[in-house]
Structure 1
Amino acid sequence: MLVEKNCSLQPFNSFGIAARAQTLVHVRCVDDILQLLAHEELGRGPFFVLGGGSNIVLTGDVKAVVLKMEIKGLRLLEDTPQAWIVEAGAGELWHDCVRWTLAHGLPGLENLALIPGTVGAAPVQNIGAYGVELQDRFESLDAVDLATGQCFTLDAAQCGFAYRDSVFKHAPSQPTANGGLPRGMGLAGRAVITRVRLRLPKPWKAELGYLDLQRRSAETGIAQPTAQQVFEWVCAIRRAKLPDPRVVGNAGSFFKNPTVTPEQCLDIIARDPRVVHYPMTDGSFKLAAGWLIDACGWRGKSVGKAGVYEKQALVLVNRGHGQDSVTGGEVMTLARAIQTSVYERFGIRLEPEPVVV
């Protein structure tokens, strides 16, 4: 178990916000977690689990014990007539996992290419892009209860997946009498994911329901692309729209796409027919948050060193550098101003995606 004191978190968050952790523990195996929990001082917590740092906004130094997840490993666990089951360590970069599966002839994750962050963070957020969500490819995960040291496994139903949501984003309820882990409870701050298993269905077929992919198919004349071709299309689309966090600090899409009733959607269309909207299977409509923000005139604007990306209004960026970086306070001030203007114009409350720490 490797422990660092007064450690800079700036290299460990994709926004590049300057903040420090009083204590940072590098977790490279399950035994590291168990040693930490047995530690007389550090084992008391509280704990903050840090994956790739791609979905957080740090508003100050972190007093909780930071668990930097670095558990590695990628393998084909099972090959059945129905699916390939792939297992990945929580510390693997998600995009590296996608590339590994394709390199080993295991298609199914290509629509989720180039999403920043780690494998362990993917179920927490139920990441999704271009018509596919993690829950569509999920088998199970292993985790450790930080209160008891108990190792346990959850399937998809127990993870409580929803749009950019899971049981790992909700506060715990009261534990059982013996201190055990009740099923169905919120696990935010209570559990740390160590390994994830993904189910890649057979036979494979390309998921091309997303408009940008349909356009690529039409432009190239390829009606039945391979998984590798879909992967390359998705990477090209994302690179054209989204800034590389290694160059421009950001946390990816900052707001969730809001869902509205058919009546609300018709009302907004009546006021602005150009609004980008998508019908959902339950009869509701999903609106493009980036379009709403853009319609309110925020594209390219800044508050302090926090800005709205010029190519995609859904992305907030760091216009500072190094120690002169944006602060978490500036990011959240900009976010709240955007929320207010969108609500005043459209009557819709945008919900941030990143975790604010």
Structure 2
Amino acid sequence: MEILNNSSLRSFNTFGIEQRARHFAKVASTDALKEALSWAKKNNQRPLIIGGGSNILLTKDYDGLVIKNELSGYEKIKEDEDFIYIKVQAGEQWHSFVLYCLEHHYAGVENLALIPGCVGASPMQNIGAYGVEIKDVFHELTALHKTELTKRTFSLKECNFGYRESVFKNIYKDQFVITDVTYRLRKKPVYHIAYGAIRQELEKRHITELSIREIAAAVIAIRSSKLPDPAKIGNAGSFFKNPSVPIDAYLSLKANFPGIVAYENADGSMKLAAGWLIEQAGLKGYRQGDAGVHEKQALVLVNYGNATGNDILKLCDLVMQTVSDKYGVPLHPEVNLI
């Protein structure tokens, strides 16, 4: 393991923000990860674990040790009549794992195609898209305690998944490093095409016989048409969570804004489309210098070139305040602010 000093983080975050780490190391094994964490503890340096850097906004230099998780590999753990269990190392790219599943005809993650980031982040925030979340295919994960350097296995129940939430974002925040995730994938697909965008794309492609490959292709086409490529325009995908409100608050909003887009939650509350709220508040395509609201998808904040993390943060604050003033609905960032 090599530790670099005063290292640029521009190429390790998809916003393309230029901030620096006091110390930086890449780890490709659990032993190297333990070594890095031990070094951080011994030298009194706060460790920050990053994967694909697709869900962080760097607002300042990091005064500690940034550890880039590059653990890689796939392993078939077990299978039964209906399911196959695949353990994936946390540093693997998420979309590469989706492609792996398509190639081997393992169903369950096709709706999650083209989501940026690494496997280790998938249970951290219970990533989801088009009616599917990680909790739907999750079996268990292994995590390493940052200071005790002990391994612990977390079951589905122990992860306490919620909407873009897990125990790793609240009660265990900054305590563990996820090293691998085991997914329970179906041998016989159950298709999720309730979202209108998917149905429309399938119709556009004249698909009459469903398959996981066709659904993944539809999702990739939809995401590619709406979301900017981080390699071309810096961004972290959806910047805000979709807010939920009680049914009476939703009915009041609908009376004033008949076109409001919402979906019913299991508990009877209504999840509002944050992108619609932002767009209807007049901010789609809005720009402050090189920080902007994307012109095709208002849920995405972008760096047009030389925006700083604080430029993006100021725009975030403006969006939240504008939406709150117009609708009385608070927005919350999905991206981790560092």
Relative to the length of structure 1, the TM-score reads 0.92
Aligned length: 338
Match in the other structure for 1:148: 148
Distance change >3 Å, CA 146–CA 75, structure 1 → 2: same
- The 8 Å contact of residues 37 and 43 in structure 1, kept in 2 or not, is answered as no
- The 8 Å contact of residues 56 and 355 in structure 1, kept in 2 or not, is answered as yes
In the alignment, does 2:311 pair up with 1:340?
no
In the alignment, does 2:203 pair up with 1:222?
no
Match in the other structure for 2:265: 280
- Which structure 1 segments of 5+ residues have no match? 171-185
How far, CA to CA, are the matches of 1:38 and 1:299 in structure 2? 46
In the alignment, does 2:183 pair up with 1:198?
yes
How far, CA to CA, are the matches of 2:2 and 2:183 in structure 1? 29
Shift of 1:106: 1.3
Match in the other structure for 1:112: 112
Residue 228 of structure 2, aligned match among 214, 226, 243: 243
Match in the other structure for 2:330: 349
Report SS of the residue matched to 1:5. Answer: strand
Match in the other structure for 2:249: 264
- The 8 Å contact of residues 292 and 342 in structure 1, kept in 2 or not, is answered as yes
How far, CA to CA, are the matches of 1:222 and 1:117 in structure 2? 29
Distance change >3 Å, CA 350–CA 295, structure 1 → 2: same
The 10-residue stretch of structure 1 (215-224 or 119-128) with the greater mean CA deviation from structure 2 = 215-224
In the alignment, does 2:280 pair up with 1:298?
no
- The 8 Å contact of residues 36 and 42 in structure 1, kept in 2 or not, is answered as no
- The 8 Å contact of residues 36 and 43 in structure 1, kept in 2 or not, is answered as no
Shift of 1:63: 0.9
- The 8 Å contact of residues 206 and 224 in structure 1, kept in 2 or not, is answered as no
Aligned residue runs from structure 1 range 27-106, under 5 A: 27-39=27-39, 42=42, 44-106=44-106
Shift of 1:223: 4.3
- Which structure 2 segments of 5+ residues have no match? none
How far, CA to CA, are the matches of 2:32 and 2:133 in structure 1? 31
Distance change >3 Å, CA 282–CA 41, structure 1 → 2: closer
How far, CA to CA, are the matches of 1:40 and 1:50 in structure 2? 15
Q: Which amino acid aligns with 1:330?
A: D
Match in the other structure for 1:328: 309
Q: Which amino acid aligns with 1:195?
A: D
Match in the other structure for 1:179: none
How far, CA to CA, are the matches of 1:75 and 1:13 in structure 2? 28
Shift of 1:104: 1.5
Q: CA RMSD in A?
A: 1.4
How far, CA to CA, are the matches of 1:290 and 1:210 in structure 2? 16
How far, CA to CA, are the matches of 1:203 and 1:104 in structure 2? 12
Report SS of the residue matched to 1:307. Answer: strand
The 10-residue stretch of structure 1 (74-83 or 287-296) with the greater mean CA deviation from structure 2 = 74-83
Match in the other structure for 1:177: none
How far, CA to CA, are the matches of 1:233 and 1:72 in structure 2? 28
How far, CA to CA, are the matches of 1:297 and 1:204 in structure 2? 41
- The 8 Å contact of residues 83 and 202 in structure 1, kept in 2 or not, is answered as yes
Shift of 1:282: 1.7
How far, CA to CA, are the matches of 2:132 and 2:211 in structure 1? 16
Shift of 1:303: 1.8
Q: Which amino acid aligns with 1:188?
A: K
Shift of 1:273: 0.5
Relative to the length of structure 2, the TM-score reads 0.97
In the alignment, does 2:301 pair up with 1:316?
yes
Quote the sequence identity (%): 41
Deviation string 1:10-34 (CA, Å, 9 cap, x unpaired) is 0000000000111112111110122
Shift of 1:147: 1.3
Deviation string 1:285-316 (CA, Å, 9 cap, x unpaired) is 11110000000100111123110100011100
Match in the other structure for 1:183: none
Structure 1 runs, 4 residues or longer, greater than 6 Å off: none
Match in the other structure for 1:129: 129
Report SS of the residue matched to 2:225. Answer: helix
